[in-house]
Chains A and B, each alone.
Chain A
Amino acid sequence: MPLTGIEIFKLLPRTNCGQCGVPTCLAFAMNLAAGKAELSSCPHVSEEAKAKLEEASAPPIRPVTIGAGEGQVKIGGETVLFRHEKRFENPTAIAMLVRDDMSDDEIAARLEKFRTLRYERVGLMLKPDMVALEAASGDPERFARVAARVHADTGGAAMVLMSEQPPLLARALEAVPGSRPLLYGVTTENLEAMLELAKAHQASLGVKGNSIDEAIAASQKLLDLGCKNVVLDGGARSLKAAFEEQVAIRRAALLQKFRPLGFPTIVFPCRMTDDPMKEALIAATFIAKYGGIVVLSDLEGHSLFPLLVARLNIFTDPQRPMATSEGIYPIGNPDDKSPVLVTSNFSLTYFIVSGEIENSRVPAWLLVQDTEGLSVLTAWAAGKFVADTIAALVKKSGIADRVSHRKIVIPGHLAAESGALEDELKGWQVLVGPREGAHIPAYLKNWQAA
């Protein structure tokens, strides 16, 4: 809960020295409460008061960073229940399970998949984020060796080290110095030793409760001991119970500002079913509904790709239209006789149009105009995608050097612009294409350069 001005006032020195720029501590407190001042402006505030004030102003779900360098992953920091209310901040991290009792070949194969199963999509790289390494062999040396292997073979991907035995974890942490993994799981029994390890290695701690109450107990204790890099597991291992648990944690954190649950979560679809297809649906559920980390039993392109795209969709900022950059996009190796089509730079429009051109199997040049992320119809209505702007794009893009013909296809919705565009683009013939992306393949199949 944010503190009131009076509550803040009680934490200040109350000497009214004026060094903060206002004459009294009370005035300063009021400014702080209103977000109009920074605590650092008061040179006399005590460490204890500082800690209390920071605690009170921390986000309702703390952001937690796991890993170091390139492979670092940030989760949590969420402020809303529904993405349309603002946006979701940090995409659910997707982790692949590796057990240290798997054969070396199996481990190598998994790490190979982790490295190679990545997909480029409109300038974004979609890929899995973490490896969750489970100490199943019980042998500290083996666990440490596999940890080092995972670290090396993934180029330092963020890790979850899974064991409830601090000595095992200690050995692995020595093998991967500076890797700052998530240590899972903390129980009320091993809590002190785990906290010590986390402090020594700048690791974060994954609380493992058998119930939400157990998770709260451990997390409260960690908070009391000053630990803030916490990830929560309330222990639910069925789809329905886990869904309920995720909603419960998110709501308690946001609606009640309940600190012990104000942390990102870790969810284990890999423990909820043996059927990999079903596991994918469970994982999708926790990408949409509040999972901080989702641990998958394995990676397969046919399930990983849909999940990565689902995550991209859910974590897109709803307030900002997705945009593609302006320019010429060759689709399917076009040559100087291939058709030229023009469209807006709203990502969805670009996806659909480029996808349909691909479906048509007719190689083409797609000219994308920067319409500030607006769709064809909206951009046209706003005067941002009209004869003038298209003519300017055709001229500056240099498309005339790529093709020998002089025909350009505009979206059906822009039919009214064709006359004006022909006036602006001397020597070009303007063709009116279909209104709907779905009709592009039929249209292109009948297209003639000559």
Chain B
Amino acid sequence: MSWLSRVVRPKIQAVLRKRDTGDSLWHKCDACNQMIFHRELSDNLNVCPGCGHHMRIAPKERFDSLFDEAQYETLPTPQVAADPLKFRDQKKYPERLREARHKTGREEAMSVARGKIDALPVTIAIQDFAFMGGSMGMAVGESLVMAAERAVKDQTPLIVFTAAGGARMQEGMLSLMQMARGTIAVQMLRESALPYIVVLTDPTTGGVTASYGMLGDIHIAEPNALIGFAGQRVIEQTIREQLPEGFQRAELLQSQGMVDMVVHRREIRPTLSRILQMLMYDRLQKNPATALPRPAALTQADDMPA
């Protein structure tokens, strides 16, 4: 590359990029290449209306689609030690965190909220692949523990939407320990006999699958979601064979007995509602008063004079 193209090319690229995002009223489906009008895509929860391909969806849009009247209280992201290893690869870890925060507008890779599904109070945690690949650092583990503690306190089910490449290497062993800490969070619900439902979204691999991702009372997966322990490249390098069609995809995992059902994104809310009403039936019968506390934020909003 000549010095001229080196100088000129980035500028052209910048212009092109700007135009790309400037009028991104149209979105191309990753699977069928169909152009979809952005409003139509978001109305359809980022599922291609043409081929049904499930594209990624941000936590806020997901929460909006799950809770009654899109009303919920978001819990603050718990504070954790910042960069305890002083980790540096090609970039410093705090720099990568800053970039992820800037890109997503979110503080960390797990968001937790409480609200209701068909009047039943629930706690929901959503892992965010856009934030450093959803990687399971201390903040993710701590959010999960917080969500579980809150669910136990409020006596609500906990629903976790998983999405992650796996561990957050920049936190070293502190990241690996989140597999144990996430598992303790699950045990808190078990011991309180509260439902713990996992919704596996694309992609969920590594330490997340090998801990709280595979410990649900019920496992729901989104269509075609990649779900597994080892990464596909690692497997290919180890066995030196091509992987079979549909390997580690939701539908295959269902046939192998690892997930209960593969559910279209639009159907997840009614599915959760149906399941939770039944799992919570006995508890609600015995003690309807304490089993249905109203989340504080909603109570305030509801009670506000119009």
Q: Do A and B bind each other?
A: no
The residues of A with any CB-CB pair to B shorter than 8 Å are: none
The residues of B with any CB-CB pair to A shorter than 8 Å are: none
